[in-house]
Amino acid sequence: MTNIEKIQKNLMNIEKRAEKVDDAKLKETFVNATPLLDVVSTSHNQIIFGRRGTGKTHLLKYISDLMRENGDLDVYIDLRTVGSNGSIYNDENLSTSERATPLLLDVLQNIHDSLLGIIVSDEMYDLGKLGPLLDAFADSCSAVKVVGTVETYEEKMNDTKQEDKLSLGANADFKSSSLKGGFSSTETINKSEKKTEKKTGSQRYYVNFGDVQRTLKNIINTIHGKKIYVFLDEWSEVPIILQPYLADLIRRCIIPLKNITVKIAAIEHRSNLSISKGNGEYIGLELGADIGGDVSLDDFMVFDNDSKRSVQFFSDLLFKHYKASIEENEKISNSVDFIQALFTQNSAFEEFVRSCEGVPRDAVYMISMAARKAFNRTINIHDIRIVARDWYSRDKSQILRTMPALNDLLTWIIEEVIGKRRSRAFLLKTNERHKLIDSLFDARLIHILKKNISSNDTPGVRYDVYKLDYGCYVDLISSSKAPRGLLLQGDTPENIEDDGEFESFNHLDVPPDDYRSIRRAILDLSKFDSHAEQA
């Protein structure tokens, strides 16, 4: 077997999802996109945003392992698996309070069970002292309840039972024969009362936050100065209407306590962290005020955002996954040699990185497909483009088949951006939210390059820079309809104010000597809405 065959066979078999990999391998395959690890491995309460496949689970589990190695207590909870009857959370026939209560109970119970498992398995903790405190914490968790409308049904019932008895007898003495007989009747009445009754009260959401916080504080004060880290993964899998109530539990019971930190992994456009009650009151968490929300994995690895960092990240990612599946005596010992052995040239690998659009899970799937396609030979640019097209059709575009309106919007954007402007990127006003745009972003059909930029042409107005997915135009690359640059041909953001944060704007693939306004790069979604209404 040739060396390239060995590499490709290993790549075809690498695990695609972090939750299916043991902790040792997760640690071995983790790649730090500097300064990401420095930002998230602090004791600050944080929400880590990122679309599916951007590495949120891998990151949380890696940090969890680091904290455990430091001697702290780590509680990792996958919110997809919380609860014995998750269907209650999604039962729309129940009130919000009735659905939220078991969710909070289940999360608190998971925290209790994780702490108990750690304390029982580690001899440094005094179970004699911590056991009663954990029991008290469990009791305080069971105090979470909802007071609301209650209906009971009672009926009155009388059951009458009639028993008739007939008896006959004969004397066995033939000398004085006689016949005896008798009849008796018994009536038994069983009474049971059931009465229909409806009791109504004002429905409201109630949690005994004081008891929960107090018992948790007692545990923290008894674990020898160690810290507790609570990692809540898959936040966006919680029904969106219930998320503010879970967030409120965190705000009231965890965040005020010293030596306990919570890290949440969520999809930004599928998260609802608070409900405003007016007069400045709210249920849930406020970003910035209660918890940090400045970490987004979507911003890190897109090729057009920082090509050098992106290439380095994905070369390390593929090499570490490969190295984790081979014997120690393998000849290839670094990512540079690995990439050179796997691809025909550096430009082929750069094309692969561009096609991944900054999503590690897509990269893992696509390299496996590319290894199969180019088996026993090195991977070239043509292979990458075929794989990107197939992956786009197989995975990313599936949502378009079930949502015609989404398909219509993407088709319109492609026509406007690629067809008319011959570019790959466009701008949308930051403060204008469009549900279909959010859905395209979640499905990895469009990608954000930069948020909250401004132009001198439109002072005071902020924009987000989006780019179309590689799969949207891969079939056009070798044709006369191929996009000519990231933004409009000749349009450079020379007059964009970014405070030096958006370095990639200095490296856009447009002529640097033709400075024009970026106004024509702004996409007006009202035109699509008008077109959709007329249709």
Write out the E strands in 34-155: 46-49, 73-78, 145-147, 150-152
**Which residues partner with 262 through β-bridges?**
230
- Phi then psi for residue 46, to 5 deg, are -145, 150
pLDDT at residue number 457: 67
pLDDT averaged over the chain?
A: 81
**Mean pLDDT for the stretch of residues 51-77:** 93
Q: pLDDT of 161-202, one tens digit each?
A: 555 554 444 444 444 445 455 555 555 555 555 555 454 544
CATH 2.40.170.20 fits 34-145+209-299, yes or no: no
Whether 513 has a pLDDT exceeding 70, the answer reads no
Q: Give the residue, 83 or 279, on which the prediction is more confident.
A: 279
Cβ–Cβ contacts within 10 Å for residue 339, how many? 21
Q: Is residue 343 packed enough to be buried (19+ CB in 10 Å), middle (13-18) or exposed (0-12)? A: buried
Q: Is the pLDDT of residue 204 over 70?
A: no
pLDDT exceeds 80 at position 218: yes
* Pick from 80-84, 174-178, 417-421: least confident: 174-178
Q: Which pLDDT tens digit goes with each residue over 430-461?
A: 888 888 999 999 999 999 888 888 766 667 78
Give the number of other Cβ atoms within 10 Å of residue 533's Cβ.
7
The predicted model scores a pTM of 0.79
pLDDT digits (tens, 9 = 90+) for 458-477: 677 888 889 999 999 998 88
List, in sequence order, the alpha helices (H) in 287-380.
Answer: 307-323, 335-342, 346-356, 360-373
Mean pLDDT score, 407-417:
94
Band of residue 504 on the pLDDT scale cut at 50, 70, 90: very low
Count CA within 13 A, CB hemisphere, residue 309: 16
507 contacts: CB under 8 Å, gap ≥ 6: 307
Q: Alpha carbon of 208 to those of 11, 243, 465, 519: distances in Å?
A: 51, 18, 45, 54
Q: What is the pLDDT of residue 198?
A: 52
Examine residue 512 and say whether the peptide bond preceding it is cis (omega within 30 degrees of 0).
no
What CA–CA distances, in Å, run from 287 to 40, 123, 251, 271, 438?
16, 39, 11, 12, 19
pLDDT at 15 over 90: no
Using DSSP, how many helices (H) and how many strands (E) does the chain show?
19, 17
31: nearest Cα among 391, 341, 294, 301: 301
Taking 60 as the threshold, does the pLDDT of residue 154 lie above it? no
Residue 353 sits at the vertex; the CA angle it makes with 347 and 354, to the nearest 5 degrees, is 90
DSSP character at residue 291: B
Give me 347's structure tokens: 């430009």
Q: Indicate the residue type of 124.
A: M
pLDDT of residue 261: 97
Q: Give the residue with greater pLDDT, 517 vs 160.
A: 160
Kindly state the average pLDDT of the residues 490-518.
37
Largest CA distance in the chain: 142
CATH architecture of the domain with residue range 307-396: Orthogonal Bundle (1.10)
pLDDT attached to residue 450: 84
Three-state secondary structure call for residue 16? coil
pLDDT for residue 27: 84
- Which class for 434: exposed (0-12), middle (13-18), buried (19 or more C-beta within 10 A)? middle
The answer on pLDDT for 44 being more than 90 is: yes
Instruction: Please give the C-alpha separations between residue 429 and each of 463, 464, 524, in angstroms, as whole numbers.
Output: 4, 6, 9
State the pLDDT at residue 235. 96
Q: Which of 419, 408, 429 is nearest to 482 (CA)?
A: 419
What whole-number percentage of the chain has pLDDT above 70? 78
Mean pLDDT is lowest, of 83-97, 127-141, 282-296, for 83-97
Instruction: Return the residue matching tokens 């925290």.
Output: 111
> Within the chain, which residue ranges are assigned CATH 1.10.8?
307-396
| Residue-wise pLDDT tens digits, 476-488 | 888 888 888 877 5
CA 23 distance to own-chain centroid:
19
pLDDT score recorded for residue 63? 95
* Nearest to 331, CA basis, from 26, 24, 7: 7
Residue 170, H or E segment = strand 156-170
The string of pLDDT tens digits covering residues 95-117 is 888 788 888 888 999 999 999 99
Segments of the chain assigned to CATH 3.40.50.300: 34-145+209-299
Q: Over 50: is that where the pLDDT of 2 sits?
A: yes
Cβ-based neighbour number of residue 132 at 10 Å? 11
- The pLDDT assigned to 369 comes to 95
Determine the Cα angle at 78 with ends 75 and 81, to 5°.
125
